Amino acid sequence: MHPAQSPAQPRTQSPDIAILSPIGRSGGRTHGGITPYVTALSAALCDAGTRVELVGFSPLDPRQSVAGIDPRLTVFNLGLAGRRRHRRALADYLARRQPRALLAAGHRANLLAAAQAGGATRIVLSVHNALTPGLRGLDPLRRLLRRRALRLRYPLADAIVCVSHGVAADLQRLVPASAARIAVIHNPIGSADAEPATSLHAWLASGSASGLAYEQQPPVVLAAGRLSRQKDFATLLRAFARMPGSHGYRLIIIGEGEERDNLARLAQRLGIDGRVALPGFVPNPRAHMAAARLFVLSSAWEGFGNVLVEAMGTGTPVVATDCDSGPREILQDGALGPLVPVGDHEALARAMAETLAAPVAAARLRERAADFAPRTVAARYLSILLPERQP
């Protein structure tokens, strides 16, 4: 365990809160929603006057690979030593730095943190996805071992934060002994102003290669996320191909992942490859969201659905699958955007066409997105991390 190689910062005082997170381990992006969660929440906790320290799994300073990490954070890393050594390194860190609370972000961090329960530091876990879908994909032995680890470790924590009510219900089914420790706090969604500037895709930008002004270009439907089976962009492609009037639209799917080639082949088979773009990773997807006509979440499952809130914050209408879990909570049971059955491309096509024809008012979408402001979310976290500070 050692400090990250970054500009020296004073460590004369113990942190109020340490956040144990894998971000920076592989550029941060491989950890999906964990990275924006940690960056937004840690900055808001600093704004609230708490001393926050980021504890990582890598000797690399995450500031070198992850945009948006607040410069007020101090950074320690456990190194690349493996689980047993990480456990010892974390115990050593807690003994030396003595944070009042440790917040773990993600399943691996949760298991490491829970092993330290019972000491002077308050241990709080955070669960960002329903765990049951991941268990289904494991072989029987690994599934048994994962369930055993969950049932042994998670109840040891002082508190467990779930990012949606659906995630909380799933955890209670898997680990009944954890029920009394669970609290639901939705993810913090930071301001787009904090994200790096980025160039818009040509289909969304004025003065594009087509020579058409933005107003003259075909309107764009947008999606964003890892190109994985979880996000089920194949259903979105089929829906786009069947959407009434789709020949007047284009579809951009932002992200990278193992399904890229399969999606490209499917678009070609559907005859829509000329109207579909897979531009890869984009550092600031909200600039694209703001310029799109519609945002679609087609996932088979989610923990929360950060991208929905991000799109709503730009005023762009949204459509989502009614997956476990998050979209129904975010969209207030469909009042702010249609919810369609998972995997139903016909229903998704209809919902997309109907929303394009009669979108929800942008002001209502922005108002709902404001409910997830980091300052609001951080106040709830503080009530759990540092309950002795509450009035």
Mean pLDDT for the stretch of residues 131-143: 88
Chain segment 70-121, per-residue pLDDT in tens: 889 988 888 766 677 888 999 999 999 999 999 999 899 999 999 999 999 9
Q: With 80 as the cut, is the pLDDT of residue 256 above it?
A: yes
Q: With 50 as the cut, is the pLDDT of residue 251 above it?
A: yes
What is this structure's pTM? 0.85
356 and 231 in a common domain: yes
245 and 107 in a common domain: no
Count CA within 13 A, CB hemisphere, residue 125. Answer: 29
378 and 305 in a common domain: no
Which neighbouring-strand residues pair with 280? 254
234 and 347 in a common domain: yes
Check residue 49 and give its pLDDT: 96
Range of the domain at 221: 192-372
Could you give the number of structural domains in the chain? 2
Contacts of 203 (CB under 8 A, 6+ apart): 217, 218, 220, 250, 252, 277
146 and 79 in a common domain: yes
CA nearest to 236, candidates 267, 258, 261: 267
Chain segment 13-70, per-residue pLDDT in tens: 899 999 999 876 543 344 457 888 999 999 999 999 999 999 987 666 666 666 678 8
CATH classification of the domain holding 311:
3.40.50.2000
